[in-house]
Structure formats: structure tokens, C-alpha cells
Structure 1
Amino acid sequence: MIAKQGQKWVILSAFLVLLSILFEIFIPFFLFVFIFLVIFFRNLQPKKIADKNAILSPIGGRVSEICICEFEGQKALKIAIKKSFFSSGVLRAFCDTEILKFKKLHGLFLCNFIKSSEFLNSRAIYYFKDNAIAMRVIYGVFSRRISLNAPKSVKVLDELGFLGSGVVILYLPLNSKIFLSVGERVRNSALLGYF
């Protein structure tokens, strides 16, 4: 399946492939663009995990940081996942919860390897009820619009939007059990640990 944020681009590129075949010009180029867009906007259907205490990865990528930090006056376990370019960009809910507040902040679209991008780039933050504390989404150079939604409550693996590139940071309670280490690659909806 294709993420809804990329459907118009995939359809347009498919149309250009048909035109290039019809007029016999630039066929390899338009075919390459079509294949690239299908891979970039693919929406893999994840397997559901029955355990309600499970914490799943909201996006695919590489774990860039795991630490204890201060988040708005309380100590929290911070897990940062940098989205890799060719992993699925569909952002999903990592547990069953209610969304108390959702904020968008518009900014730049710097490369996520620049330290100040966490504070200067366009970003959004979800505040949750119960176990989950918050999730911050920092957009990168290939994410030109904040295309996220924030329903009142979410079930695990519900779609929240699309991230072309960027970083997703989870703020979890200190007693969460995490089975990852920094540098590990995770797939979208892979098991990270338990509350």
C-alpha cells in the first residue's frame, strides 16, 4: 500500500511513465522516479501485538539516543529514533492512549545531523495520558509540511501521519523496560520494550 500523503505523487509519476512509453522518451528516468516514489511512500501493514503494556516503534530508523532527561519538570526516559531515508515513513501510535494536547511549531528544515535542528526545525509534540508521557516529532530536510493528525484517543499502531525524514523522540516513564541500545536499527512497529 501507499501512504495517503504520497498517493498523488505516485499516480503522477505512473502517468509520466505511461506518457514516456507512449512517446518513447526518457523511459528509464521516469521508471526510476516511479519506483523511488513507491519505495519512499510505502505503507507496510504491521502485525498487532496483544500485550497492552508493549511499547512499539512509532517509525522505522536508527536509535540515536537513550537517556534519562528532564521533560517539563519531570524525569523521563528519552528514546530518539532517526528515520532512515528508505524505512517506512508512516508515523504510528506506539501504545493505546489518549492525546491530551497536540502542538505544532513551524520552523526550518535543516538536516537532522545538525545539533540545533532539534530546536530550529518544524516540529510537533503529542502529550499523552496514563503511561506514555509525550512524543516529539522533528521534521527533517525531506519533510516540507507537518502532515500529522491528533485524534482524542488512539489505539496502538493507528496512523498519525507521515514523516519523510526527521527524528521521533519518545518520553516515557522511568520504570519502562527497554530492550534496545543506541545504534540499533528498528522497523516501524517493532517491539521497543514494556511499560
Structure 2
Amino acid sequence: MFHKEGKTIILATLILALIITDLTYFLLEDLPWLQYIIYVVLIFFVVIVLQFFRNPKRNTNVSENHVVAPVDGKVVVIEEVYEPEYFKDKRLQVSIFMSPLNVHVTRYGLSGLVKYSKYHPGKYLVAWHPKASEENERTSIVIENKTFGEVLYRQIAGALAKRIVNYAVEGTEVLQGTDAGFIKFGSRVDLFLPLNSKINVSLNQTVKGAEDVIASL
């Protein structure tokens, strides 16, 4: 299954690949070795595009008592920080970095009411840069949950990510594990949790979106 955000790009990629294949066949008929190289490169390119927009089904254990990973990737930050945009107080930050090879679907880490959803234009620093959370292009979303209260997650563009898609609309109810958006070509998501949250992951751990539990109460 492929994500709807990739349909146009996938279609364009396939059409382009077919055109180049036909041109290669007719124009390079006397250079079979070059034809072979071009075909291999085309296949590799198509596979990369298809795998980037894959949207595998996930089995979420829906619960008010825990927060699941919003994305696939590696945990790169676990620390107590001051969150200046919405809470303006200290929170536990857990950040997950996605490489271009990871699934890039963003999923809701918990169920609840969307209280805040804001897009911020910005820079394109590498996603693991300490200032990426405040200076890069990003969206900030706050969900009010019965158990955790308000939790903020932030989609952050990286050096390659040039488009963030956010489906969270203020005033709507959302369900843990369902589709919340998409970030194209390498990025990061920050979670800002209450200080009394029990963190269930460790640094450099690889997590799977909508399935692995990040924190519980």
C-alpha cells in the first residue's frame, strides 16, 4: 500500500521511466552495455520512490495510558527541556529521526482533541541539528488526552525534506495510530510530554510508528 501523498510522484516517476526506457531501446540499440546500465539505474530509482511512499498497515494497541511512536525511526533525544512555543514550561522531549529509508507517514501518538495546529516556515538544517526544532520549517500540534493532558508533537523538515503535510485540524477528535500527515525525504518528530511520564524507550533505539510505546503513565 502506498500513501496518497505519493500518488502524483509515483505516477510521474513511472511515466518518466517508461519514456526513458523506450528512448534507450531505440536510440542506443548498438550499445547494449549502456542500455543495461540505464535500465538498472531506472529500476533502482523507481524502487527508491516506491519504498519511500510505502504506507504499511500497523496494529496499534489503542490506550489512554500510553503514547505510541508517531513515526518510524531512531530515538535521538530524551531530555527535559523548556518548550517555548505553547507550554512555556518544562517538558520531557523525545525526538525520533527518520532517514530517507524509513516510512515517512506521521501517525497520532495518542487519542484526543486537537487543541493547536500551526505551521512555521523556516530553515532546512539537518534534522538532528540542536536548533532544528526551533529554526527549521515545522508544524506544531497539541492533542489533549484524558490521561496525559496536553501533549505536543512537532513535525520538522530536514536538509532534504521540503514539504510537511499535516492533517491535524483544531477542534477535531483524533484516534491513536491513525494517519496524521507525511514528511517528504528525511526529517524528525519531537514529542513534548508531561514531566511525570515514564519513558519506555532509550537513546538510539529504533522504533516503529503506531506500535512501539514511547511513554506511559
What letter corresponds to residue 184 of structure 1 in structure 2? Q
For residue 63 of structure 1, report the CA deviation from its aligned partner.
0.6
Deviates more, 1:121-130 or 1:10-19: 10-19
Matched, 1:103 2:124: no
- In the alignment of these two chains, the number of paired residues is 195
Given candidates 92, 98, 108, the residue that maps to 1:93 is: 108
Structure 2 unaligned spans of 5+: 26-34
Matched, 1:175 2:201: no
Aligned mates of 2:49, 2:120 — CA distance in 1: 27
Structure 1 unaligned spans of 5+: none
Matched, 1:78 2:93: yes
2:75 paired residue number: 63
Aligned mates of 2:130, 2:194 — CA distance in 1: 25
2:175 paired residue number: 155
Aligned mates of 1:48, 1:179 — CA distance in 2: 16
Aligned mates of 2:111, 2:130 — CA distance in 1: 32
1:46 paired residue number: 58
Q: TM-score scaled to structure 1, two decimals? A: 0.91
Deviates more, 1:13-22 or 1:157-166: 13-22
For residue 73 of structure 1, report the CA deviation from its aligned partner.
3.2
Aligned mates of 1:68, 1:107 — CA distance in 2: 24
Over the matched positions of the two proteins, sequence identity in percent amounts to: 24
Aligned mates of 1:70, 1:46 — CA distance in 2: 32
Q: TM-score scaled to structure 2, two decimals? A: 0.82
- Please identify the structure whose Cα radius of gyration is greater: 2
Matches for 1:124-163 after TM superposition, within 5 Å: 124-130=139-145, 131=148, 132-151=150-169, 152-163=172-183
Deviations 1:48-98 (A, max 9, x none): 214332211001111111112233333322111111221100000001111
CA RMSD of aligned residues (A): 1.8
1:33 paired residue number: 45
Deviates more, 1:82-91 or 1:108-117: 108-117
